Structure 1
């Protein structure tokens, strides 16, 4: 049985962040910057610019994500943090229409991206990343976490799964809060000290 551990994404772990993001899917080109930028701004960036943006975000802190390791090797990533720092969210109509939380509330966090390297898929890394993310959010003073889950029972492309699968959120204790659109659900978890 492999040993799975997690660590917050700090400057010292930059190479691990890159390894986690570059093992399949869009992580290598996106650099997990998609949740931060509106479409116009996103379309004006290149992959090297996104890489530098993520590096600057990690260097500035606080860490915007968590890395999962399998037997010491970087294998997965989750982006989470205050919604106030994820500029795309208030401009995404389905999210803005479904949430009851004000977008200027720094105590509301969002989980916006999961990436797992191909060779480590199917080992439960998303669940481990989400549990570590909940702990990190709680320790950081978050009051509530939102996710924008994909129902894997519906027909979705593999690339849509970066939002996180509904069953992963429900297993971690999140509650279905609203339907965003068919096959996508707003899930929330209230955090208590």
Structure 2
């Protein structure tokens, strides 16, 4: 994919983000319609709020608002002008509810929360899976985080084994993280916690 480019999410890209995730036309959840309402809002919602009570439109509006004011971060992959992938990677203090949603204890930090990042989601358009998009998102995204002073990145791949079901690996597969320099920090019941030190 020589024309693949990775761009950090910004207010200028809110339209491309929404088109990628819009469940009626976007490719993000074309083969997983049960998650089509998410808009990658799940890990930003406090556990006190019943996720099932939120509609697709509510999640869309919430994410649009967060992107437009610079509160939501991440990375979009483009082939030409078309968004074909997404990685939700942002400073830990911007996702204060993610560990509650993950159902695990927070990882200890040797630095301030704003100097640590978490990766909680990959979504690759079905036609572009197994073509290196997730690897480019991870490599370029982590490099971009490092240039802005992020000292470490944590991620949480599910223990999905050799499952070929994409939804089983939406945190990213363990093998991908290990091949990109992450190390296992902790084992939890449903997932492996991995970390990469950047400084």
Counterpart among 122, 127, 134 of residue 126 in structure 1:
134
Structure 1 pair 32/107, CA: closer, same or farther in 2 (3 Å)? same
Q: Tell me which residue corresponds to 2:18.
A: 18
Cα pair 1:94 1:181 within 8 Å, conserved: no
Counterpart among 185, 188, 193 of residue 195 in structure 2:
188
CA distance in 2, matches of 1:92, 1:39: 6
CA RMSD, aligned part only? 2.4
Please state how far the C-alpha of 1:150 moved relative to its aligned partner: 2.6
Counterpart among 132, 144, 151 of residue 143 in structure 1:
151
CA distance in 2, matches of 1:102, 1:54: 30
Aligned: 1:178 with 2:182: no
Structure 1 pair 33/104, CA: closer, same or farther in 2 (3 Å)? farther
Q: Structure 1 unaligned runs (5+)?
A: none
Q: Deviations over 1:109-147 (max 9, x none)?
A: 100111011111111111111112102211222111100
Q: More strand by proportion, 1 or 2?
A: 1
Q: Tell me which residue corresponds to 2:94.
A: 85
CA distance in 2, matches of 1:135, 1:103: 18
Cα pair 1:89 1:96 within 8 Å, conserved: no
Please state how far the C-alpha of 1:151 moved relative to its aligned partner: 4.3
Give the SS at the match of 2:188.
strand
CA distance in 2, matches of 1:93, 1:67: 23
Aligned: 1:113 with 2:126: no
Q: Tell me which residue corresponds to 1:161.
A: 169
Give the SS at the match of 1:101.
coil
Aligned: 1:50 with 2:59: yes
Please state how far the C-alpha of 1:96 moved relative to its aligned partner: 0.9
TM-score, normalised on structure 2?
0.84
CA distance in 2, matches of 1:160, 1:38: 23
Q: Structure 2 unaligned runs (5+)?
A: none
TM-score, normalised on structure 1?
0.86
Structure 1 pair 140/108, CA: closer, same or farther in 2 (3 Å)? same
